[in-house]
Amino acid sequence: MPVFNQSRKSVIILVFLITLAIIVLQLMNLQLFSSKYKLDAENQGIFRKVVYPDRGIVYDRKGRSILQNTTIYDLMVTPSKLKGNNTDTATLCTVLGIDSAEFKKRIDNIRFKYSQGYRPAIFEPLLSNEKMAKLTEIMYKLTPAYYLQERSVRDYPYDAAGNILGYLSEVDSNILKNPNYTGYVMGDYIGKTGLEKTYEKVMLGQRGIEFWKRDKFGKLTERVEKGAYDTAAIAGQNMHTSLDIDLQMLGEKLMENKLGSIVAIDPKTGGILCMVSSPTFKPRLLTGSERRKHIAEVLLDPALPLLNRTVGATYSPGSTFKTLQALVGLHEGVIDTKFTVSCSGAFYGCGGAKPMKCLDKGTFDLRGAITISDNTYFATVMQKVINNPKYPSIDSSLSAWDQYMYAFGLGHRLGVDVPYEKRGLIPTPAFYNQAPPRGFGKGHWNYCSFRSVSIGQGEVDVTPLQVANEMAYLANKGWYITPHLVDSIEGGDKYNMLTNFKDRHQTIDIPDSVFEAVHDGMQGVVERGTGGAAKVPGIVICGKTGTVENYYKGVKQPNHAFFAGFAPRDNPKIAIMCVVENSGKFGGTYAAPIVGLMIEKYLKDSITDKNRLARIDELSKLNLIPPRIYIEIKRQDSMRHAKDSAYLIAKGYITTIKDTMEMDQSDEEDALDKIKDDTIPNVKNAPAKKDSNDNKTKIKPDAILPDEKKKPETKDTANKP
Amino acid sequence: MYQKNASISKGIDWLTVLLYLALAVVGLACIFSVEYKSGDNVVQNFLGFKKEYSKQLFFFGASIIVAAFILLTDSKFFTATANLAYAFGIMLIMATFVVGKEVGGSKSWIPLGFMNIQPVEVCKIFTSLALAKFLSLPETNLKKIQTQLIAAAIAFSPALLSVLQKEPGAAIVYFSFALTFYREGLPTLYLIVIFSLTILIIASIVVSPIVFYVSITVIAVLFIFFNGRKIRRDMFKLVLVIVVWLMCIGVKLFLVHALFDYVLKPHQVVRIFTTFGIDDYKFKTPERTAEIEKELAKLGTTRRKPGEKVESYNVKQSKIAIGSGGFWGKGFLQGTQTRGDFVPAQNTDFIFSSVGENFGFLGCLALMLLYFGLMLRLIFLAERQRSTFSRVYMYCVVGILFFHVALNVCMTLGLAPSPGITLPLLSYGGSSLITFTILIFISIKLDADRQMILR
């Protein structure tokens, strides 16, 4: 049989070979020359799972854990596995307290967001204990479409010390942009305030990474190379603090219904025993399932519960300042302990105009002057210091005085390990040399221009922590250690965060005898002077009251009550201060009894006497919140008929709700602040012309309402009687 | 001439058998790698027939038995029953209209209980036999129009029926018989015209209209310029060139629009468009545009950025899987894309992507050499046949194989639209595996009996 067309075989083979060549070329293109596909494959086929380590635990001075981790559950759902069982869905809705429309909305949302619902997603995050209990009962009906997923959240076993411990919050875009916080991604949590913020690095630990294979639904199937490339997570370091949680809780109780602070320090170590800022917040309300409900409420409260007043608010120190003036006077040699001043009713050292009144008429020596808090005595002492012929000019004498104040820990940040510390204000020659209205202008001032500083009013501002620290300085007779909360870190202080808490600060040598004289006076304050309410049977307490006049928006407010002291006198174990804002009356009335109870609690470990217990309750119930806060609340309420802040944002009353108080401005900003003219116009209308210090306490609570309400309520202005 | 075979193995071309076995084993391995999840109890799965790899192993066993039966059959049986078998095949396809089972929108499957068979698939065997029978008649001549028409009728009837069943993918394979026709003497002009037309249609949708018109005009002018002397001698040729030129424009203006606006189904249009990355085609009616958009969305086609080409999700995933394999591949069962089920239909149409990911460029090259080795071997066998019947039949087999392999592989590599045809011997599916086994083993049997005169 003849074979036709045999040559066409070659053509066919040629076509085959061309096709083969095209295929091989495309294979080379895809597999050998292009790296795009390998990257794509890794991106979609391999998942870098970040393993979050447990955050460090915080213990108090007796080893009790005050900040730890707990497990909470998210309810997860895989919509593709949902069966159309309506009764189960209805049960679930009842338990979660949602209606079927909300249910459908959530499921649709998940389907839309996560690959048509093949991937599990959170249906209800952070289940409360109550919901959790009900859910576990019906869970068997809900599987496999639903399951519970663990998540670790912070837990506060004593539900106290919220301001100190701080809380976590999701990172925001500002943090993601900040080069100091590299490594954080959207959805991570970061310490926002308190120790959680300061010791973020220590407590965070090291994140681990697991490499997982995943399928097209994003479900993780198995480890890559059985985990050969994985990095294990390293748990955060635990920290031991000097805090006494019992004392802290007592302090918080005593300060209920009041604005103010209590700070107690162990003078030997600088360790902070308690740091109460009132009003405060229950830290459990800002963690886990409660957070969503309460964060707005806490942020919008005009009493600023998130503000840590112990370091973030400044006040004129009032008469507690006099103890320091005594030290300066004695050490400078302008007075001795025998030096007496008699007060006929006021200080006339500056002539007849506007005399500074004294409360008790009579003649006093140093001890007596401290005991009864005689204004005239200390005005005279400071006058002698400033007008000391040893110094060629008032500039140099005031500078010398400033050096003492700095040595006492005033006028600068102490460096405590809670964030947002204020520096306070100690007036310098440069400060008064500024042109009016801020200062007096160079050459236009003398001692009489600022004589009220001598009694702790006027252009002097301190934080409660600085006052407590100055008491530690007095108790130690001439030195202090930077106040701090964290004593030690388990596994070593890798980031050198505790180095500054070891050194004694002792820049001026003042002989013990000088201190003894001041201590005598302070003991007298409690035993027979203005601070009798602080008396504790069996304990020798040295103290000093303070009654601070202050202004808010140019209106004179009730006095702040101050009491500061230490105990016992011979071997001081606690240095303490208390301020009750706008309590009215005197420092001895409200602040002294609180300090007395705190000292008793700390030194005797417990308070058993019935009368004393009754006193605690009485003080706790006493409501001293100034009326302006209530006015503020009322005004807010009337604006909040839409209930949520969204309304306020829409109306432009709030621009944003920020999660922090954002008070840690940089130093230079602070320095500018100090020199810059007062930016709040209506403060200039304040009666006292020289109270230029009040913007030092300008807190910037971005969460607060309209502009004219952004006034801090802790602002003090000195009054010149 | 007739002689009784002393043994079943006499005259068998073992190289072909080996190539066949190698491909079938690779297929099993690939299906296993796609389906296997770590922690599976493999033995239990093989015994339980729950998984597709265990079913495929069963089909493979069945194929071996079928192959043995074919080798035991007398070759004369195939020539004798060719026409009958063809009639049976056509009836099978017709039967699907009555008893057909719907699988994936087309009613082209006949349920047999343990498996479903697709008559269009099986009918390739019968068509090949019938074509061989017809073309081996001494009076047929593919240069004659009558023979051409009858051969075309035999070849394309099953395809036509298949189109009526809305399964055009299977029908397109019947174009592979053109290869046989060409070998058997069909004038080259036919193929050139068909090839040119295809190129023309693709070109007209890929390039912008101005480029298209300018290009064909330039080609025509160049043609006239270089053949000036011939044209001066015979003005008819000039007229011919002008007619062809006009036809090209006609294709662009009418045929292309007719095809994409009316004839082709939306999903077919989308497949073609995504292959060539076309997204600026203007449809005549807004309804059609909406349909196409819907289809694009359905395919998982993403049009992420304005500058980016449209790409079908399936093809993109297939390219990622193959591309990530690199030179050496990730190793058997190590492919992240295969294990993560990223490539849709990876058991069947996209099985080549698992080869690409697991075994890399080397594996793909080896597989291609196996396929083309098998085809070239079959061409070699065909050319040594004395009987026209055997040669025509074997060329049919080669054509079918070539069409399947080339289209399927090009589809997984993103070079061709995906008509939904399987990769022979590798893709999961009893129908496909057994069909190809029968096709190849009849060739082997015919070759073993090449001394006989068959017609």
pLDDT range class, residue A712, cuts 50, 70, 90:
very low
Residue A191 domain boundaries:
49-241
Closest by alpha carbon to B264, among B298, B291, B301? B291
User: What is the secondary structure of B167-187 as a DSSP string?
Assistant: -HHHHHGGGGHHHHHHHTT--
pLDDT higher at A300 or B55: B55
Q: Would the pLDDT of B105 be above 70?
A: no
- Please tell me whether residues B240 and B194 are part of one structural domain: yes
Residue A232 resides in a domain: yes
pLDDT, tens digit, 9 for 90 and up, residues A166-206:
888 888 878 778 877 777 777 778 888 899 999 988 888 88
Angle of helix B430-448 relative to helix B52-72, nearest 10 degrees? 20
The answer to whether the Cβ–Cβ distance between A22 and B415 falls below 8 Å is yes
- Please tell me whether residues B27 and B104 are part of one structural domain: yes
CB atoms within 10 A of CB B46: 16
Across A564-583, average pLDDT: 91
Residue B4 resides in a domain: no
Q: Would the pLDDT of B429 be above 70?
A: yes
Contacts of B302 in chain A (CB under 8 A): none
Closest by alpha carbon to A65, among A55, A74, A75? A55
Q: How confident is the model at residue A672, as a pLDDT?
A: 38
CB A705 within 8 A of CB A303: no
Q: How far is A215 from chain B, CA to nearest CA, in Å?
A: 3
pLDDT, tens digit, 9 for 90 and up, residues B238-273:
888 888 888 888 888 888 888 888 777 777 787 787
Ranges of H-type helices in A97-198: 100-113, 129-142, 162-165, 173-177, 194-198
Residue B454 resides in a domain: no
Across A252-273, average pLDDT: 92
pLDDT range class, residue A304, cuts 50, 70, 90:
confident
Across B59-73, average pLDDT: 94
Q: Would the pLDDT of B82 be above 50?
A: yes
CATH of the domain at A181: 3.90.1310.10
- Please tell me whether residues B234 and B381 are part of one structural domain: no
CB B374 within 8 A of CB B402: no
pLDDT, tens digit, 9 for 90 and up, residues A464-509:
999 999 999 999 998 999 999 999 999 888 888 888 898 888 888 8
Q: What is the mean pLDDT of chain B?
A: 85
Q: How confident is the model at residue A152, as a pLDDT?
A: 80
Q: Would the pLDDT of A530 be above 60?
A: yes
Q: How far is A121 from chain B, CA to nearest CA, in Å?
A: 19
Compare CB distances from A23 to B339, B357, B409 and report the shortest one's residue.
Answer: B409
Residue B306 domain boundaries:
265-311
Compare CB distances from B365 to A24, A213, A217 and report the shortest one's residue.
Answer: A24
Q: How confident is the model at residue A638, as a pLDDT?
A: 66
Q: Which of A3, A24, A30, A226 to mutate to test the interface with B (most CBs of B within 10 A)?
A: A30
pLDDT, tens digit, 9 for 90 and up, residues B132-173:
999 999 888 888 899 999 999 999 999 888 888 777 777 888
Across A384-398, average pLDDT: 87
pLDDT higher at A356 or B390: B390
Q: How confident is the model at residue A142, as a pLDDT?
A: 79
pLDDT higher at A146 or A120: A146
Residue A23 resides in a domain: no
Which of B228, B263, B298 terminates a domain? The answer is B263
pLDDT higher at A87 or A366: A366
Q: How confident is the model at residue A206, as a pLDDT?
A: 81
Contacts of A46 in chain B (CB under 8 A): 336
- Please tell me whether residues B53 and B176 are part of one structural domain: yes
The whole-angstrom separation of Cα A319 and Cα A543 is 11
Compare CB distances from B341 to A19, A34, A215 and report the shortest one's residue.
Answer: A215
Q: How confident is the model at residue A21, as a pLDDT?
A: 95
- Please tell me whether residues B404 and B374 are part of one structural domain: yes
**Residues pairing with A97 in the sheet:** none
The proportion of chain B whose per-residue pLDDT surpasses 90, expressed as a percent, equals 38
- Please tell me whether residues B56 and B159 are part of one structural domain: yes
CB atoms within 10 A of CB A124: 21
Residue B8 resides in a domain: no
DSSP-derived secondary structure letter, A450: G
Q: Would the pLDDT of B378 be above 80?
A: yes
Compare CB distances from B402 to A16, A32, A213 and report the shortest one's residue.
Answer: A16
Q: How confident is the model at residue B130, as a pLDDT?
A: 95
Q: Would the pLDDT of A669 be above 50?
A: no
Q: Would the pLDDT of A682 be above 50?
A: no
- Please tell me whether residues B77 and B199 are part of one structural domain: no
Residue A25 resides in a domain: no
- Please tell me whether residues B270 and B243 are part of one structural domain: no
Q: Which two tokens stand for residue B347?
A: 């058991």
Count up the domains in chain A and report the number.
1
Q: How confident is the model at residue B360, as a pLDDT?
A: 92
Q: Would the pLDDT of A119 be above 80?
A: no
pLDDT higher at B229 or A69: A69
Residue B1 resides in a domain: no
- Please tell me whether residues B404 and B370 are part of one structural domain: yes
Count up the domains in chain B and report the number.
3
Residue B453 resides in a domain: no
- Please tell me whether residues B46 and B180 are part of one structural domain: yes
Contacts of B365 in chain A (CB under 8 A): 24, 27
Q: How confident is the model at residue B2, as a pLDDT?
A: 46
Residue A21 resides in a domain: no
The answer to whether the Cβ–Cβ distance between A41 and B409 falls below 8 Å is no
Residue B6 resides in a domain: no
- Please tell me whether residues B62 and B147 are part of one structural domain: yes
- Please tell me whether residues B112 and B202 are part of one structural domain: no
pLDDT, tens digit, 9 for 90 and up, residues A340-361:
888 777 777 776 556 677 766 7
The answer to whether the Cβ–Cβ distance between A27 and B364 falls below 8 Å is yes
Residue A465 resides in a domain: no
Contacts of A37 in chain B (CB under 8 A): 319-320, 322-324
Q: Would the pLDDT of B415 be above 90?
A: no
Residue A219 resides in a domain: yes
Closest by alpha carbon to A677, among A707, A698, A658, A657? A698
Closest by alpha carbon to A139, among A100, A96, A99, A110? A96
pLDDT, tens digit, 9 for 90 and up, residues B285-319:
888 888 877 777 666 545 444 555 666 778 888 99
